[in-house]
């Protein structure tokens, strides 16, 4: 929020939104009050002639953001994952935002690679193609490694992209502050927190070492998944601004004709892509959060290949259990249990009526289960579910919103392969298997083992921790209580040993 350039950038932004016809759409999405609307119009309408024209063939919001440049395109993509902030209608528009920009030259890309890897490109690669894909932050080239002859994909950040993003994000922070000042009603959408989230995502994407690490972790989690593969990261040829990974050969997931020509079973593929996503989300708590057709291919052997790991989702073990219980409850049409799970998790305030909430959930579930099996949509169910929980005072949980958005995308991929897929029938074995492992006696033993592991590590330190706590409170351990101290030490060591024994026993039983 430094410097007058931010005011100028906001004027240019408002002018472009006005010229593209997107101003009202954006203001309505953020539920802007009269004061904010007046300020926005004052920044945009008189300067409409200064706005970028954009592509008239695009929807207004998409047209404006695309014209404003890379930071705005990426911001639109992030907002597409937050229908809780911008509403469903605008989120759908932003979801189809074209992340394609004119590529930068091969010479610039080679210069970046040579600078990052500290070697001439000709020594590393025997061939280095023109860009095969150009996006808001980076572009991709196909190359051949000189040493091994292996084909690889080389992702290179746009020159000076960090500075461009930093400038625009500064302006975004100023805009968020203005929204909070001039539209108090919009504060519940937490505009500054939204920008902070966007800032964090972009910082991660502007360091390709982090994307490489995400790909590596994802690969480690999924290495035993049948029918699924990821391109291998070439760590020795990756750095902050360059990422090299194996080339993914196969039919694009969005090209049914190519998939059929290769002899693949689209019904089986549709089932597999959905089950893989649920396994990654529930089993691992770490999932590809951008699994659209453009990031998926079908290998010649029929494996599904995923790539582009810039946006990954993470949910902790407790949240996974809650999510699985909610899905499982809907599968069994046990709405009272689904309601109780929401209350037990603290998602819905305790002063609300659990029976009334269960009836609201029944109103969500029964119409869906009354449909023909091929029309049942898990994504639609989750959308309705969030609408109901919002009415009952559930606070926004970003990780669940991202999970829901990805579920919508994955379901769309599955239906594009097989329009007659029964989503619940395909999902049920994965959700049921997870429930059986994570909820029940076996899960209790596993939780006790985890607790015992902590005790085994901290047991010997318990006496010192207790004594330090007492000292901080001005209650030093007197001389006459030294036996107590020795007892604490003994119990700490014993607790640690007991914890270790429990862990070993559980592992042996497992």
Confidence band for 496, pLDDT divided at 50, 70 and 90? very low
- Is 202 a domain residue? no
> Exposed (0-12), middle (13-18) or buried (19+): which is 346, by Cβ within 10 Å?
exposed
Instruction: Specify the number of domains making up the chain.
Output: 4
Over residues 223-251, mean pLDDT: 94
Residues facing residue 313 across a β-bridge: 287
SS3 content of the chain, % helix, strand, coil (to 5): 65, 10, 25
**Are 473 and 384 members of one domain?**
no
Q: Which residue has the higher pLDDT, 291 or 89?
A: 291
**Are 290 and 374 members of one domain?**
yes
**Are 382 and 254 members of one domain?**
yes
- Is 118 a domain residue? yes
Token pair 């829901």 in the structure block, residue: 404
End-to-end CA distance of the chain: give it in Å, rounded: 55
> Exposed (0-12), middle (13-18) or buried (19+): which is 308, by Cβ within 10 Å?
buried
Q: Which residue has the higher pLDDT, 195 or 465?
A: 195
| Domain that includes residue 65, residue range | 5-99+162-197
**Domain end: 396, 413, 439, which one?**
439
**Domain end: 409, 439, 469, which one?**
439
pTM of the model: 0.72
- Is 337 a domain residue? yes
**Domain end: 378, 410, 439, which one?**
439
- Within 13 Å, how many C-alpha atoms sit on residue 354's CB side? 14
Over residues 274-285, mean pLDDT: 92
Say which of 168, 225, 290, 308 is annotated catalytic.
290
Nearest 5°: phi and psi at 366? Answer: -60, -45
Residues 6+ apart with CB under 8 A from 450: none
Strands, sheet with 304-306, edge to edge from the N-terminal-most edge strand: 228-229, 304-306, 296-298, 251-252
- Is 74 a domain residue? yes
Confidence band for 509, pLDDT divided at 50, 70 and 90? very low
- Is 127 a domain residue? yes
- Which pLDDT belongs to residue 504? 45
Express each pLDDT in 222-236 by its tens digit: 999 999 999 999 999
- Which pLDDT belongs to residue 492? 47
- Is 131 a domain residue? yes
**Are 310 and 382 members of one domain?**
yes
Three-class DSSP category at 234: coil
**Are 276 and 387 members of one domain?**
yes
**Are 172 and 254 members of one domain?**
no
290 catalytic per annotation: yes
**Are 354 and 381 members of one domain?**
yes
Tokens (6 digits) for 19 = 């010229």
Residues 6+ apart with CB under 8 A from 106: 128, 129, 130, 131, 141
Q: What percent of the chain has pLDDT above 70?
A: 75
Tokens (6 digits) for 483 = 């036996």
Within 10 angstroms of residue 360's Cβ, the number of other Cβ atoms is 19
- Is 362 a domain residue? yes
Rg (CA), the chain: 27
**Are 389 and 504 members of one domain?**
no
Range picked from 47-56, 128-137, 319-328, 399-408 for highest mean pLDDT: 128-137
Confidence band for 507, pLDDT divided at 50, 70 and 90? very low
- Which pLDDT belongs to residue 299? 95
Q: Which residue has the higher pLDDT, 498 or 217?
A: 217
C-alpha to C-alpha distance for 419 and 416, rounded to whole angstroms: 6
Residue 192 has pLDDT above 70, yes or no: yes
**Are 35 and 172 members of one domain?**
yes
Nearest 5°: phi and psi at 38? Answer: -65, -45
Q: Which residue has the higher pLDDT, 260 or 76?
A: 260
**Are 224 and 299 members of one domain?**
no
**Are 230 and 180 members of one domain?**
no
**Are 396 and 356 members of one domain?**
yes
- Is 89 a domain residue? yes
């Amino acid at each position: 929020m430094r410097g007058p350039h931010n005011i100028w950038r906001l004027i240019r932004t408002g002018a472009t939104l006005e010229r593209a016809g997107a101003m009202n759409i954006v203001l309505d999405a953020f539920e802007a009050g009269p004061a904010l609307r007046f300020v926005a119009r004052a920044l945009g309408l008189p300067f409409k002639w200064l706005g970028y024209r954009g592509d008239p063939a695009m929807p207004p919001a998409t047209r404006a953001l695309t014209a404003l440049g890379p930071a705005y395109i990426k911001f639109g993509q992030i907002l597409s994952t937050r229908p809780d902030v911008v509403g469903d209608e605008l989120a759908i528009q932003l979801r189809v935002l074209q992340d394609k920009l004119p590529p930068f030259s091969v010479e610039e890309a080679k210069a970046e690679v040579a600078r990052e890897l500290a070697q001439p490109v000709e020594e590393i690669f025997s061939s280095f193609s023109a860009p095969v894909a150009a996006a808001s932050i980076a572009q991709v080239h196909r190359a051949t490694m000189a040493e091994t002859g292996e084909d690889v994909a080389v992702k290179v950040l746009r020159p000076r992209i960090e500075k461009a993003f930093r400038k625009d994000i500064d302006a975004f922070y100023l805009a968020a502050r203005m929204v909070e000042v001039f539209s108090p009603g919009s504060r519940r959408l937490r505009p500054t927190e939204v920008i902070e989230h966007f800032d964090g995502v972009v910082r991660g994407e502007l360091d390709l070492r982090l994307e490489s690490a995400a790909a590596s972790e994802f690969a480690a989690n999924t290495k035993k998944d049948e029918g699924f593969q990821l391109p291998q990261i070439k760590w020795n040829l990756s750095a902050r601004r360059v990422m090299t990974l194996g080339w993914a050969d196969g039919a694009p997931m969005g090209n049914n004709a190519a998939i059929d020509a290769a002899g693949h079973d689209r019904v089986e593929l549709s089932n597999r892509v959905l089950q893989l996503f649920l396994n990654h989300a529930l089993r691992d708590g770490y999932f590809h959060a951008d699994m659209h057709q453009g990031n998926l291919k079908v290998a010649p052997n029929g494996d599904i290949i995923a790539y582009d790991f810039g946006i990954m989702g993470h949910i902790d073990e407790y949240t996974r259990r809650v999510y699985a219980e909610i899905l499982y409850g809907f599968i069994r049409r046990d709405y009272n249990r689904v309601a109780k799970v929401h209350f037990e998790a603290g998602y819905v305030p305790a002063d609300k009526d659990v029976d009334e909430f269960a009836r609201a959930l029944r109103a969500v579930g029964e119409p869906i289960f009354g449909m023909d099996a091929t029309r049942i949509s898990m994504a639609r169910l989750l959308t309705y579910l969030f609408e109901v929980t919002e009415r009952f005072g559930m606070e926004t949980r970003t990780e669940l919103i991202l999970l829901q958005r990805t579920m919508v995308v994955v379901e769309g991929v599955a239906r594009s392969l097989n329009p007659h897929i029964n989503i619940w029938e395909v999902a049920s074995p994965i959700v049921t298997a997870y429930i059986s492992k994570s909820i029940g006696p076996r899960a209790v033993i596993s939780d006790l083992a985890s607790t015992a592991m902590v005790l085994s590590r901290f047991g010997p330190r318990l006496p010192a921790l207790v004594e330090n706590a007492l000292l901080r409170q001005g209650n030093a351990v007197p001389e006459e209580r030294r036996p107590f101290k020795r007892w604490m030490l003994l119990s700490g060591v014993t607790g640690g040993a007991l914890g270790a024994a429990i862990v070993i026993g559980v592992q042996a039983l497992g």
